[in-house]
Structure 1
Amino acid sequence: MSILKIVEYPATVLEQKCETVITFDKKLNQLLNSMYETMVEADGVGLAAPQIGIAKQIAIVEVDERKGKIELINPEIIVEDGEQIGPEGCLSFPGLYGEVRRSYYVKVRAQNRKGKWYEAEATGFLARAIQHEIDHLNGVLFTSKVLNYLEEEELEG
């Protein structure tokens, strides 16, 4: 495992739709492990493969240790409900924050590192993080959804 370089905007890989993962092997396992280490090292709650320069549908989310790490391979949102507006940042946009409108609840269908399909439900901040990472896999950046930009001091009082 290793810490990977996080790609920053305006890298073109950040705005392209990612390819479906079809090979579930040792290389994928190593990539997921390195992505997780990189996310933790960068103090993030999510990381998508395009953020490390790989245009594949792979993302990882961990908003707190109790809920644990969620690996999303070829994910799709199958149900969404409600609405929340809250602050977001992005490891590919260091120091930039904004309020973004997202669904309060999501149900996703994705594959795990072995290729097995599963479904997961999330609300609140976890749902926000999942939606943010899935947007990355579709080439959608949070900056395209910002309602209001925030200064770092405005994030937590």
Structure 2
Amino acid sequence: MAIKEILKFQDKTLKRVSRKVDKLDKETKNLIRDLKDTLNNVEGIGLAAPQIGDLKRIIYIDLKNGMNPILLINPIIVCKIGKEKSREGCLSYPGYEGIVIRPRRVIVKGTNEIGKEVTYEARGLLAKAFCHEIDHLDGILYIDKAKKIYKIKE
């Protein structure tokens, strides 16, 4: 559909809680295409619908490591296991990274783009990406959780 502008951290939309998606209609399918097109056009691994201005509970993750990309509608984290501290960045806060504590492993449930309920057990980078993107759906940015934030050196 279209490559959308990614909202920056100052935009109040990013601090709002997203609405549950009740049906997989044409509008939702267009939003899914916009998420994919936008993420495929930038150097990032995840994008949530609020980051392109749509307060719907949809995330798209593409680790760009050969694993199939993941699109989830109404995702929820049903289990968090362990904790680890690591660097994290965000397309809505470009040029910076922060140190954030996230679960080591998560189990996430949601609906895929054809309406089927799916479950993922994730660890490492994928677990962090799920947590980061789901936080966006709740109006939380990684900078709200970061222990330290620093400018990325060119």
Q: How does 1:30-69 map to 2 (within 5 A)?
A: 30-69=30-69
Whether the 8 Å CA contact 1:84–1:124 is kept in 2: the answer is no
Deviation at 1:27, TM superposition (A): 2.7
State how far apart, in whole Å, the 2-side matches of 1:153 and 1:126 are. Answer: 25
Q: If the length of structure 1 is used for normalisation, what is the TM-score?
A: 0.92
Root-mean-square deviation over aligned CA pairs: 1.4
Whether the 8 Å CA contact 2:143–2:149 is kept in 1: the answer is no
SS of residue matched to 2:23:
coil
Could you tell me which runs of 5 or more consecutive residues in structure 2 were left unpaired when the two chains were aligned.
Answer: none
Q: Which residue of 2 aligns with 1:121?
A: 121
Q: Which residue of 2 aligns with 1:73?
A: 73
Give % identity. Answer: 38
Q: Which residue of 1 aligns with 2:26?
A: 26
Q: Deviations over 1:35-59 (max 9, x none)?
A: 1121121211000011001111011
State how far apart, in whole Å, the 1-side matches of 2:26 and 2:112 are. Answer: 13
Q: Which residue of 2 aligns with 1:140?
A: 140
**Which stretch of the first structure deviates more once superposed, 83-92 or 144-153?**
144-153
Q: Deviations over 1:96-148 (max 9, x none)?
A: 21011000100001011122211111100110011000000011110011111
State how far apart, in whole Å, the 2-side matches of 1:7 and 1:149 are. Answer: 19
Moved over 4 A (4+): none
**Which stretch of the first structure deviates more once superposed, 130-139 or 23-32?**
23-32
SS of residue matched to 1:6:
coil
* Letter aligned with residue 50 of structure 2: P
Deviation at 1:33, TM superposition (A): 1.9
Deviation at 1:152, TM superposition (A): 1.3
SS of residue matched to 1:153:
coil
Q: How does 1:102-117 map to 2 (within 5 A)?
A: 102-117=102-117
SS of residue matched to 2:147:
strand
Deviation at 1:66, TM superposition (A): 1.9
Whether the 8 Å CA contact 1:47–1:60 is kept in 2: the answer is yes
Deviation at 1:63, TM superposition (A): 1.1
Q: Which residue of 1 aligns with 2:98?
A: 98
**Which stretch of the first structure deviates more once superposed, 17-26 or 144-153?**
144-153
SS of residue matched to 2:153:
helix
Q: If the length of structure 2 is used for normalisation, what is the TM-score?
A: 0.94
